[in-house]
A and B are shown apart, each in its own frame.
Chain A
Amino acid sequence: MKILYVEDDATARAYVERGLRERGFDVDAVGDAESGEKRALQGVYDLIVLDVMLPDLDGFELLRRLRATDVTSPVLFLSARGEVEDRIRGLELGGDDYLPKPFAFAELVARIRALARRRLGEPADPRLDVGDLRLDLRRREAARGDHPLDLTPKEFVLLEYLMRHAGQAVSRSMIIESVWGWGFETYSNLIDVHINRLRKKVDGPFACRLIHTVKGFGYMLEERQAAGGTGHA
């Protein structure tokens, strides 16, 4: 996966670039908007990570220019400025995600992966399956094996989000932004409480656990063992 990373702070750029390379991403890192624009116009990138505050040009302006041409690569904004206004502005201009500085590196990686997946396109199938966990989006029904799960509407949306990102670590703030639609992450620790309730219903009575904690970061829904065990109440 090819990423263009535009960041003017040299230290941050060097470390983030190195970190992304070590995670297996193919990264081109540049320090100003002009070279960023030149590279982006080649149209070879799967994703652009863009700092909002660049010395020569506002990151928003760069995005506007890119969107005015044929560059459709998803754009993830990084900003040290006021998160509420910047976030809204960035998304309005056609940005795809927004991450306030300082951010956890794992958070950046998780969001990059989520955007990459989004680019591949989500299946139109109204059913989601992970192991023996099934979600019927049309009938708003969830079940594990033959056992229907009694979920609240919010729990259903939360489970849907985890299943859409199955096998992928999602952070608490990603969950609160996507499931609740809130831009703030002040109470992202409260996500643990919501996940625990969901976990009781989804994993509680069953032998094989699907919702896993990613320590210090967030959660991942994944089938980790061979799906041999049939659930028992």
Chain B
Amino acid sequence: MPSRLSISTRWTVRYTAAMFVTLSLFSGYVYSRVERRIDADARLLLRLQLALLTETVERHPDDPGAWKISVDQQLEATHPELRFGAQVYDETGRLLLAEGSLAGRALPVPEPGRKGHMEQLDLGGETPFFVASSSAGDRRVRAAIDSARFAQSSGHIARVLLMGLGPMLLLTAGVGWLLSRRSLRPIAEITRTARRVSGTHLGETVPTRGSGDELDDLATTLNEMIVRIREGMDRVRRFSVDAAHQLRTPLAALRSQIEVTRAQERPPAEYRRVLGDLLAQVEGLGETVHGMLRLAHSEGGLVAAHRGAVDVGELLTEVAGFFAPLAEEQEVAFELDAPAGLGVSGDPTWLRQMFGNLLSNALGHTPCGGRVRIEARAEGAEATVRVRDSGPGVAPADRERIFEPFERGASAPARPGAGVGLSLAREIARAHGGSVVLESDAGPGASFLVRLPRVQSPSRPASAAA
């Protein structure tokens, strides 16, 4: 385990913190609502008791005995902890009755106008009393209950809420941890698989669960990546083998020539001739290696620093201008048709090489009196370039084979230096997010179609003639 906290731990901590805030706010809200409610209940009870006594006093204004019965009934009906108490005064402020918790207490005479007024009074107990008063004819009535019981209720609620908070948070943390572990388990599997994958071990795939969620997406993407890498590695492996074969034959020839020549004394002229032969063959080998290196580099990805918007028309004009004298010499009609302002993103050096390879291929396969036509178009989001020749075309069996390195197509005459031109063109197009294909329905001759993603052209070429 790395020293940094794992994702599940971090998620759990965050869950729990969020839950703590939520629960605290909720508890505070519940407590304040409950407390207000209890307070209202206390007032209601007190008001009720006051109303009962007031009614009795009104009905029997001169019968303290009836008052006492009413108060005793209420004392009996209410919980002793409420410590109900009552007082009745006459209009001069003389105390006529004092019962319950208000017995023997000297209090100011209730003012006549303040009916139903309620206040908290400290009567010397641990908690204040709720006190309310009213008038019944000439008499003044006062009732009181102890607030202790109500305070106890809200205190109890607060304790319950506080005690619940801890276990709730623990529960949240536990469940959150389990959930995050569970939802992250596919990532652990992906990690394990990715660890096993290497250049030589590309058969692995990350398990997908078909749930279609983000992690499944990730797994699928990784699998696709592994497949792409595998294909690339296969290409490279094939290429290395092909390249080794390409070099083996000429190396064997060189070796025999040197060994045979050295086997006995020969006249100087002969040595010179053999050295000349060897040089020519070494030059050929050098060219093969150049081609292979270029192909390997285009596969290795182009240097992004040299990428930029390239005007296809301008580039084709330049390349076609270079090849035009050759076409003229071979008596091949050479046409370029490119619209102004057709832009692609890429490395001009590589793109030039790609179009050069295609043109060279076309000119190499077009007989005297034939025609090579280059046609650039904007097609939707793509720029297309067709290089069409009037040569013998490509046999259906060779359609894909001609793009393999060192393949020339059975029907095509062998040309020196050929071998990687078309595969290099294809790799360059690929590296630019495009493609090169041989069109199948192009009629006589061969038609190569280049597709490249379009971008804003860097310039507006004045004209696009070869």
* Chain A residues within 8 Å of B353, by CB: 184, 186
* A residues in contact with B306, CB < 8 Å: 88
Q: How many inter-chain residue pairs (CB < 8 Å) link A and B?
A: 51
18 more contacts with CB within 8 A, not counting A186-B360, A186-B417, A190-B326, are A84-B297, A84-B303, A84-B349, A84-B350, A102-B282, A102-B289, A182-B349, A182-B352, A184-B356, A186-B290, A186-B353, A187-B356, A190-B322, A193-B325, A193-B329, A196-B325, A196-B329, A197-B325
Closest to B289 in A: A102
Which among A84, A100, A180, A183 has the greatest number of chain B C-beta atoms within 10 A? Answer: A84
Please name the residue on chain B nearest to A191 by beta carbon: B322
In the complex, 12 of the A-B residue pairs with CB atoms within 8 angstroms, ordered by the A residue number, are A84-B303, A88-B306, A184-B349, A184-B352, A186-B290, A186-B357, A187-B322, A187-B323, A190-B323, A193-B326, A194-B325, A196-B329
Residues of A within 8 A of B294 (CB): 83-84, 186
Residues of A within 8 A of B417 (CB): 186
Query: Looking at the complex, which one of A82, A154, A190, A196 makes contact with B297 (CB distance below 8 Å)?
Result: A82
Contact partners of A197 in chain B: CB under 8 A: 325
Cα distance A100–B349 in the bound complex, in angstroms: 16
Kindly state whether residue B293 has any CB partner on chain A within 8 Å: yes
A83 CB contacts on chain B under 8 angstroms = 290, 293-294
B349 cross-chain contacts in A, Cβ below 8 A: 84, 182-184
Main secondary structure, interface of A, reads helix
A196 proximity list for chain B (CB < 8 A): 325, 329
B360 / chain A contacts, CB cutoff of 8 Å:
186-187
In-complex Cβ contact of A100 among B282, B290, B322, B357 (8 A): B290
Chain B residues engaging chain A, CB cutoff 8 angstroms: 282-283, 286, 289-290, 293-294, 297, 303, 306, 321-323, 325-326, 329, 349-350, 352-353, 356-357, 360, 417
Q: Does A44 contact B (CB under 8 A)?
A: no
The reply to whether the CB of A214 lies closer than 8 angstroms to some CB of chain B is: no
Interface pair A180/B297, CB less than 8 Å apart: no
Chain B residues in 8 Å Cβ range of A102: 282, 286, 289
Q: Are A180 and B322 within 8 A (Cβ)?
A: yes
B334 CB → nearest A CB, Å: 13
Distance in Å: Cβ of A228 to nearest Cβ of chain B: 32
Size category, A interface: 20 to 34
Closest-CB distance, A84 to chain B (whole angstroms):
6
Residues from chain A with a CB closer than 8 A to the CB of B356 are 184, 186-187
Chain A residues with CB under 8 A of B325:
190, 193-194, 196-197
- Counting chain A CB atoms within 10 Å of each CB, the highest count among B306, B323, B325, B326 belongs to B325
CB distance from A173 to the nearest CB of B (A): 11
Contact with B along A12-51 (1 / 0, CB 8 A): 0000000000000000000000000000000000000000
Cβ contacts A151-195/B at 8 Å (1 or 0 each):
000100000000000000000000000001011101100100110
Please give the distance in Å from A1's CB to the nearest CB on chain B.
26
Q: Shortest CB–CB separation between residue A88 and chain B, in angstroms?
A: 7
Given the interface pairs A104-B283, A154-B321, A186-B356, the reply to whether A85 lies near B326 with Cβ below 8 Å is no
Q: Which residue on chain B has the smallest CB distance to residue A195?
A: B325
Measured in the bound complex, the distance between the Cα atoms of B326 and A190 in whole Å is: 7
Q: In the complex, what residues of B have CB within 8 A of residue A190's CB?
A: 322-323, 325-326
The residue on B at minimum CB distance from A184 is: B353
Chain B hits for A154, CB < 8 A:
321
Which residues from chain B contact A194 at a C-beta distance below 8 Å?
A: 322, 325
What's the minimum C-beta distance from A28 to chain B, rounded to whole angstroms?
A: 27
What 4 pairs across the A-B complex have the smallest Cβ distances?
Answer: A102-B286, A193-B325, A82-B297, A193-B326
Contacts of A193 in B (CB 8 A): 325-326, 329
Chain A residue with the shortest CB-CB distance to B303: A85
Q: Which residues of A contact B323 (CB under 8 A)?
A: 187, 190
Residue among B282, B283, B289, B322 with the most chain A CB within 10 A? B322
On chain A, the residues within 8 Å of B326 by CB distance are 190, 193
- Residue-wise, chain A 104-143 has the 8 Å CB interface mask toward B (1 for contact) of 1000000000000000000000000000000000000000
Q: Who on chain A is nearest to B296 by CB?
A: A82
Residues on the A chain within 8 Å of B352, using CB:
182, 184
Please measure, in the bound complex, the distance between the C-alpha atom of A104 and the C-alpha atom of B289, giving whole angstroms: 14
List, in ascending order, chain B residues with CB within 8 A of A180's CB: 322
Closest to B356 in A: A187
Closest to A176 in B: B322
A221–B289 CA distance with the chains assembled, in angstroms = 32
- B293 touching A82 by the CB < 8 A rule? yes
Q: How far is the CB of B446 from chain A (nearest CB, A)?
A: 19
The closest CB in chain B to the CB of A103 belongs to B286
Taking CB atoms, residues of chain A closer than 8 Å to B290 are 83, 100, 186
A197 to B321, CA, bound (A): 13
Report the bound CA distance from A186 to B418 in whole Å.
10
